[in-house]
Amino acid sequence: MRLTVRHTTRYRYDSPLANAMQQLRLTPNSGAGQTISEWAIDAPGIHRATTYRDAFDNLVHMVSSDKTIEQVEITARGVVDTDDIHGVIGFERGAAPTRIFTRVTPLTRANQAIRRLANHVNAEDPVSGFHDLMATIREKVDYKVGVSETHATAVSALAAGEGVCQDHAHIFIAAARAIGYPARYVSGYLLLEEEQASEAHHAWAEVFVPDLGWVGFDISNGICPTDHYIRLTTGLDSRSAAPIRGIRFGGTDENLQVEVDVLQSASQQQQ
């Protein structure tokens, strides 16, 4: 499937900024299930950005503004060809060691309730167990926009019983790590169907299963990722996989607006 993406982020400030620096993780990698055909980023300072790959193999553009500004607009756009690999990414080379994804972070710390959820996973058939875990989390935590904080923890989201895709992913990751499975957070894009729930950009989890490698689970929609999905970044949690992170000097109040459009190629729709 050929998908087109336009992802625009706008920041507006109550007073001018003296300076701002941002890390842009806005360029997806070609890999299992996806091939990047075209991609570009428009942002202040992008022409002189420092570019590098972080510890999780995400391509990062470090941009800064040398002018006094009151608003910033960043747009990533491109064309991606996707295949349905049923969520199985497999074994990767060149990324962070698998064992690093057993590391517990403040957002993915497990408590007794999360450890009980992890009992759904049987070592003899872990894939079926993780499907059961996915379903149980979705039953216990209703998908509801606007009820959780930006960096809510897995523990607080499970206790609240409602949250969004990043909350579902954090709970799943915390449960997987609690029983020794490497698990990572994925931020990306989703071509929506009418019955699917999503936010401006979507999030899900991947767990490392022996003999299969990395396998994705979209807890919010109760499925493994298909050719409707584009993987943008990976990390230990939503903080390390955030598409945009930065610091600013000046401005006390920030207004954030995010717009994401994911469309199927018109020529494919006509076939």
Q: Which pLDDT score, from 0 to 100, does residue 268 have?
A: 58
- Residue 54, φ and ψ in degrees, nearest 5: -85, -175
- On whether the 2-81+243-265 domain is CATH 2.40.30.30, my answer is no
Residues of the chain with pLDDT under 70: 16-19, 66, 68, 94-95, 194-200, 248-252, 254, 266-271
Q: Which pLDDT score, from 0 to 100, does residue 30 have?
A: 96
Predicted TM-score (pTM) of the model is 0.92
Closest C-alpha among 27, 93, 95, 25 to residue 55: 95
Q: In this structure, which amino acid lies at residue 47?
A: H
Q: Which pLDDT score, from 0 to 100, does residue 270 have?
A: 47
User: Are 186 and 234 contacting, i.e. CB atoms less than 8 angstroms apart?
Assistant: yes
Q: Structure tokens of 91? A: 């074994």
145-197 pLDDT, tens digit each: 877 777 899 999 999 999 999 999 999 999 999 999 999 999 999 998 765 55
Beta bridge partners of 213: 209
Beta bridge partners of 189: 230
- Residue 51, φ and ψ in degrees, nearest 5: -120, 135
Closest C-alpha among 159, 128, 129 to residue 141: 159
Domain ranges of the chain: 2-81+243-265, 86-235
User: Are 17 and 249 contacting, i.e. CB atoms less than 8 angstroms apart?
Assistant: yes
- On whether the 86-235 domain is CATH 3.10.620.30, my answer is yes
